[in-house]
């Protein structure tokens, strides 16, 4: 288990607080803990300061219109530090996101990507320059620069809540899905942040960045223990919410059960799916030559943080 040992060494140096391991073979990123209990989603999704609940997930879905990207803000507002994370922040909307974090009295600790995006520049690098202490996170398989590199089975703690990492390659080789924790103190139903692997009634293209229709199909469907011991997205409970990285039709959320029934591509057999993906006839991604090189280095490339920050406004 050389992989795990090296991984722990690098994380120990980077974390503000010592990591807590729940399992000998999985890495856990931790934050100071309190005892908690589960609460209904209807309560979790509303920001409130009521004091009768010791655990509360604050959840916000944010939108960047030029690339139709969703950024997700999650925080444990039942924890005294109100630790928060952002999934898939965009450079153009970093100031909006920071302003919201401040308004809500949160402490941003992680800026996380589901994959190396080809259609926009990530906001993780800018967030690091503007919010002291924020750590950038992306999969090891993405071969990108970040403070923390995660793999399937890792857990990312923010307060008493955590995200589990599932490797879901296919759109890119390094795609992962982040799923809220499975446990008595974690949100129910669960929430899956699928990046571009599974979109609402669709999926990400598989013709660039090490993409593979075969891999994407199995990342969504697999019942077997593949992709580093993690099961496919469709093996999650049917009431699990699906929150994708993009939507181009105005949808905001779906569920596993809904996509199992209605996804026009992924309800098909693998061979039909591959044929669909091979015949999409999509244009060359217009941002890919700018976005991918930048996103491989946290979105900041060779520019100084200040010059990139200025162009993002
Ligand atoms: Fe993508």
**Which pLDDT does position 28 carry in this prediction?**
53
**Which pLDDT does position 222 carry in this prediction?**
87
Residue 171 CA to ligand 1 center (angstroms) comes to 7
Question: Which of 138, 162, 167, 158 is closest to 150 using CA atoms?
Answer: 138
User: Hey, which residues does 129 pair with through a beta bridge?
Assistant: none
Contact 177, 193 (CB under 8 A): yes
Residue 117 CA to ligand 1 center (angstroms) comes to 4
Residue 1 CA to ligand 1 center (angstroms) comes to 31
Helices (H), the chain: 2-14, 41-44, 94-103, 124-130, 213-221, 256-262, 270-278, 288-295, 305-311
Residue 202 CA to ligand 1 center (angstroms) comes to 13
Fold classified for 2-34+53-308: Metallo-beta-lactamase; Chain A (3.60.15)
Residue 182 CA to ligand 1 center (angstroms) comes to 26
Residue 44 CA to ligand 1 center (angstroms) comes to 28
Residue 246 CA to ligand 1 center (angstroms) comes to 9
Residue 306 and residue 16: Cα distance in Å, rounded?
25
For 67-124, the pLDDT digits (tens) are: 999 999 999 999 999 999 999 999 999 999 999 999 999 999 999 999 999 999 999 9
- CA 275, 279, 282 angle in degrees (round to 5)? 140
Residue 125 and residue 261: Cα distance in Å, rounded?
38
Q: 304: number of CA atoms within 13 Å, CB side?
A: 3
| Residues 6 or more apart whose Cβ sits within 8 Å of residue 75 | 57, 58, 82, 83, 84, 85, 104, 106, 158, 159
Map out the domains of the chain as residue ranges. Answer: 2-34+53-308
Q: Are strands 155-158 and 176-180 parallel, antiparallel or unpaired?
A: unpaired
Residue 53 CA to ligand 1 center (angstroms) comes to 37
**Which pLDDT does position 231 carry in this prediction?**
74
Residue 27 CA to ligand 1 center (angstroms) comes to 25
**Which pLDDT does position 53 carry in this prediction?**
41
**pLDDT mean by block of 10 residues, the chain; 313 residues:** 32 32 43 37 40 70 97 97 98 98 98 96 96 97 96 96 96 97 91 98 95 96 59 93 98 98 97 96 89 90 43 31
């Amino acid at each position: 288990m050389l992989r795990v040992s090296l991984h722990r060494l690098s994380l120990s140096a980077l974390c503000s607080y010592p990591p807590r391991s729940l399992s000998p073979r999985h890495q856990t990123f931790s934050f100071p803990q309190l005892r908690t209990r589960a609460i209904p989603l209807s309560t979790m999704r509303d920001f409130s300061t009521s004091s009768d609940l010791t655990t509360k997930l604050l959840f916000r879905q944010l939108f960047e219109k030029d690339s139709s990207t969703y950024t997700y803000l999650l925080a444990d507002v039942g924890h005294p530090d109100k630790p928060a994370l952002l999934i898939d922040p965009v450079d153009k909307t970093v100031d909006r996101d920071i302003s919201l974090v401040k308004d809500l009295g949160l402490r941003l600790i992680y800026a996380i990507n589901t994959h190396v995006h080809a259609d926009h520049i990530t906001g993780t690098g800018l967030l690091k320059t503007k919010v002291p202490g924020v750590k950038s996170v992306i999969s090891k398989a993405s071969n990108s620069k970040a403070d923390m590199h995660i793999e399937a089975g890792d857990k990312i703690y923010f307060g008493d809540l955590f995200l589990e990492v599932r490797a879901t390659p296919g759109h890119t080789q390094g795609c992962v899905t982040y799923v809220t924790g499975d446990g008595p103190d974690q949100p129910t139903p669960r929430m899956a942040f699928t990046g571009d692997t599974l979109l609402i009634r669709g999926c990400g293209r598989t013709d660039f960045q090490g993409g593979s229709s075969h891999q994407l199909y199995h990342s969504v469907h697999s019942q077997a223990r593949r992709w580093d011991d993690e099961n496919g997205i469709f093996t999650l409970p049917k009431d699990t919410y699906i929150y994708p990285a993009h939507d181009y039709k105005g949808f905001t959320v779906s569920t596993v059960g809904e996509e199992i029934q209605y996804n026009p591509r992924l309800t098909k057999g693998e061979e039909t799916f591959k044929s669909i993906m091979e015949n999409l006839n999509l244009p060359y991604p217009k941002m890919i030559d700018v976005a991918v090189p930048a996103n491989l280095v946290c979105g900041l490339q060779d520019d100084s943080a200040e010059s990139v920050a200025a162009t993002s406004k």
